[in-house]
Amino acid sequence: MELITTSLLCFLACSAFFLFLLKPFSSNKRANLPLPPGSLGWPYIGETFQLYSQNPNVFFASKQKRYGSIFKTHILGCPCIMISSPEAAKFVLVTRAHLFKPTFPASKERMLGKQAIFFHQGDYHIKLRKLVLRAFMPEAIKNIVSDIETIANDSLQSWEGRLINTFQEMKTFTFNVALLSIFGKDEILYREDLKRCYFILEKGYNSMPINLPGTLFHKSMKARKELAQILAKILATRRQNQQDHSDLLGSFMGDKEGLTDEQIADNIIGVIFAARDTTASVLTWILKYLGENPCVLEAVTEEQRSILRAKEECDEENKALTWADTKRMPITARVIQETLRVASILSFTFREAVEDVEYQGYLIPKGWKVLPLFRNIHHSSDFFPEPEKFDPSRFMVAPKPNTYMPFGNGTHSCPGNELAKLEMLVLLHHLTTKYRWTVVGAQNGIQYGPFALPQNGLPIRLRSHS
Ligand code: HEM
Ligand SMILES: *[C@@H]1O[C@H](CO)[C@@H](O)[C@H](O)[C@H]1NC(C)=O
Ligand SMILES: *[C@@H]1O[C@H](CO)[C@@H](O)[C@H](O)[C@H]1NC(C)=O
């Protein structure tokens, strides 16, 4: 989620640091423990300048080299502890998850809605997570494979022969799939309105949170209201018709204890936000890596053609892709896994210690941010030999626990991971069997906006290929 990465640069106010200055030592025995190594830089300005002036991954990697897999630093006024070992990631995200709560800047909370799943811990979080998982688990998304296929097919057809910005077009694809998984077939009726509002809302995500007429923030708050109104209409229709729906909205509405309309709105906007740019940027990286590795592209194409052939040989009328078909794509699945590793689009996530915590003899003080650095773990040669090399075959052996966490781990891990993998497989099926593409312009750069993307969103020209 872009949420996570941008929030790093948006931590303008951080009371925890002041608390630390005022009360550096509490009375319990943990207070005598040393802090992890590292430098805190100048208070408040911290090491932010260094972070801004370098690729963030270089910044983290050089720190890790100097201090090891746990070190302290200071970003935009916040004292932080960065961790980059599987053991520490397991400690923070899984076994001691209750000691580390999710943390985001207030402006993000205002935009997405305070009641969205990401911001919570405890009973409300558990309840939401159950509802979200119910809508995105294999049993539920099995039924929408052919609808996803139609969306993929339509997207590809609309790109044919044109010069396109891969990332922008993938965003349309992943947006449409997200709406389908949330609203089911109701989606088509409201797609254009939802899209228009969401696009305005999104523009305000990274703007200054000043709510005055004319500002981006003001416009996006208005769009948010309009989204809530569209949603109210859909909710009213569904309540009247009283049918059951297996999509996310159906799951939210079916809860016995009941979610309020506002809770539903916050979480639907949150899911679109979590689902769209993440999946679109992974797809963009996949096209880049397949383009640079023709042998891998050939192997994927051959695998996908064999699925087509098997369907042609069987007598069934219906040639649509099925869930079972998507389980017969191991080569394509490894390309997705390896892209998630190399690109590591969510380089890290944020937590905040809810009390003083001891880890391996070090003190993690209450209120400090803790950042598990996924990308550093994924790029460690201890777990992935020649880490910079794109080599899907390395996933023929399963990675060790907590060395590969593109979807996180523990209580807040990604509930949409099955849907993300499914929609990528379906798009790649049609893309590789029917089309070829060429990248337009020089392609070496990476842009951070806010997470890593090939330069200019990877402009390509797509043509049909038989
Ligand atoms: C390839 C695409 C995706 C990647 C790499 C990804 C990655 C992640 C990661 C790493 C987290 C955990 C963050 C943390 O622990 O702080 C997360 C959380 C989440 N993701 Fe995804 N995600 C993707 C697609 C999706 C999709 C398609 C959906 C929805 C259908 C989704 C919904 C969510 C939600 C709701 C959460 C918050 C869960 C919670 O706080 O309990 N994601 N995602
Ligand atoms: C996908 O598009 C092709 C044309 O490119 C069409 O012949 C085919 O029937 C479509 N398949 C699905 C599942 O919509
Ligand atoms: C998440 O943590 C558990 C417990 O350590 C582990 O068994 C599992 O393999 C981890 N998942 C990933 C994706 O590493």
With respect to residue 201, please indicate whether it lies within any of the assigned structural domains.
yes
**Ligand 3 atom having least distance to the Cα of 86:** 14
pLDDT above 90 as % of the chain: 68
Q: What is the dihedral of CA 179, 266, 109, 457, to 10 degrees?
A: 0
With respect to residue 305, please indicate whether it lies within any of the assigned structural domains.
yes
CA angle, corner 247, sides to 245 and 251, nearest 5?
A: 75
Nearest-ligand number for the alpha carbon of 318: 2
Q: For 236-250, 319-333, 424-438, which range has the lowest pLDDT when averaged over its residues?
A: 236-250
Which tens digit of pLDDT belongs to each residue from 390-412?
A: 999 999 999 999 999 999 999 99
Long-range contacts of 192-200 (CB under 8 A, 24+ apart): 193/230, 194/227, 194/230, 197/223, 197/224, 197/226, 197/227, 197/230, 198/223, 198/227, 198/269, 198/272
Average pLDDT over residues 421-427: 98
Q: For 20-24, 115-119, 173-177, 321-325, which range has the lowest pLDDT when averaged over its residues?
A: 20-24
CB environment 275-293: b (16+ within 10 A), e (fewer):
bbbbbbbbbbbbbbbbbeb
Structure confidence at residue 45 (pLDDT): 52
Which tens digit of pLDDT belongs to each residue from 258-274?
A: 899 999 999 999 999 99
pLDDT of 18 above 60 = no
Average pLDDT over residues 150-179: 97
pLDDT of 15 above 50 = no
Task: Decide which of 57 and 421 is more confident.
Answer: 421
**Ligand 2 atom having least distance to the Cα of 464:** 5
Nearest CA to ligand 2 atom 5: 157
Nearest-ligand number for the alpha carbon of 157: 2
Query: What is the 409 CA–ligand 3 centroid distance (Å)?
Result: 6
Structure confidence at residue 51 (pLDDT): 56
Give the Å distances, CA to CA, from 197 to 231, 347, 367: 12, 29, 36
pLDDT of 24 above 80 = no
Q: What is the mean pLDDT of the chain?
A: 88
Per mean pLDDT, which of 105-119, 213-227, 374-388 is the most reliable? 374-388
Average pLDDT over residues 188-202: 90
Q: Per-residue confidence at 248, pLDDT binned at 50, 70, 90?
A: very high
Q: Per-residue confidence at 95, pLDDT binned at 50, 70, 90?
A: very high
From CA 369, how far away is CA 367, in angstroms rounded? Answer: 7
Residue 381 structural domain? 84-437
Q: Cα-flanking dihedrals φ and ψ of residue 371, to 5°?
A: -120, 105
**CA Rg, the chain, in Å?**
23
**Can you read off the two tokens belonging to residue 16?**
């925890």
Average pLDDT over residues 184-192: 86
Query: What is the 153 CA–ligand 2 centroid distance (Å)?
Result: 6
Cβ pair 248, 268 in contact under 8 A = yes
The preferred substitution site among 145, 146, 149, 153 for testing ligand 2, maximizing ligand atoms within 8 Å of CB, is 153
> In terms of Cα–Cα distance, which of 199, 143, 147, 148 is closest to 171?
199
**Can you read off the two tokens belonging to residue 379?**
């790029």
With respect to residue 386, please indicate whether it lies within any of the assigned structural domains.
yes
With respect to residue 23, please indicate whether it lies within any of the assigned structural domains.
no
Give the Å distances, CA to CA, from 58 to 24, 54, 62, 72, 278: 31, 7, 6, 16, 22
Residue with tokens 């087509």: 308
From CA 120, how far away is CA 101, in angstroms rounded? Answer: 8
Instruction: Count CA within 13 A, CB hemisphere, residue 417.
Output: 13
With respect to residue 7, please indicate whether it lies within any of the assigned structural domains.
no
Structure confidence at residue 47 (pLDDT): 58
Structure confidence at residue 53 (pLDDT): 52
Cβ pair 431, 301 in contact under 8 A = no
pLDDT of 49 above 70 = no
With respect to residue 32, please indicate whether it lies within any of the assigned structural domains.
no
Structure confidence at residue 163 (pLDDT): 96
**pTM score above 0.75:** yes
Which tens digit of pLDDT belongs to each residue from 202-226?
A: 887 767 767 788 888 889 889 999 9
With respect to residue 363, please indicate whether it lies within any of the assigned structural domains.
yes
Q: Cα-flanking dihedrals φ and ψ of residue 70, to 5°?
A: -140, 120
pLDDT of 93 above 60 = yes
Query: What is the 411 CA–ligand 1 centroid distance (Å)?
Result: 12
The total number of structural domains that make up the chain: 1
Structure confidence at residue 42 (pLDDT): 58
Q: What is the CATH number of the domain that holds 329?
A: 1.10.630.10
Strands 446-448 and 357-359: unpaired
Query: What is the 128 CA–ligand 1 centroid distance (Å)?
Result: 14
Q: What is the DSSP string of 188-239?
A: HHHHHHHHHHHHHHHHTTTS----STTSHHHHHHHHHHHHHHHHHHHHHHHH
With respect to residue 113, please indicate whether it lies within any of the assigned structural domains.
yes
From CA 328, how far away is CA 306, in angstroms rounded? Answer: 10
CA angle, corner 163, sides to 159 and 169, nearest 5?
A: 50
DSSP 8-state code for residue 94? I
pLDDT of 54 above 90 = no
Find out whether the beta carbon of 414 lies less than 6 Å from any atom of ligand 1: yes
Q: What is the DSSP string of 178-193?
A: HHHHHHGGGHHHHHHH
**Ligand 2 atom having least distance to the Cα of 150:** 14
Rounded to a whole number of angstroms, the distance between the first and last alpha carbons of the chain is 36
In the chain, % helix, strand, coil (3-state, to 5) comes to 60, 10, 30
pLDDT of 82 above 60 = yes
- Centroid of chain to Cα 390: 21
pLDDT above 70 as % of the chain: 88
Q: What is the DSSP string of 229-297?
A: HHHHHHHHHHHHH-----SHHHHHHT-SS---HHHHHHHHHHHHHHHHHHHHHHHHHHHHHHHH-HHHH
In this structure, the residues whose C-beta lies within 6 A of any atom of ligand 2 are 149-150, 153, 157, 320
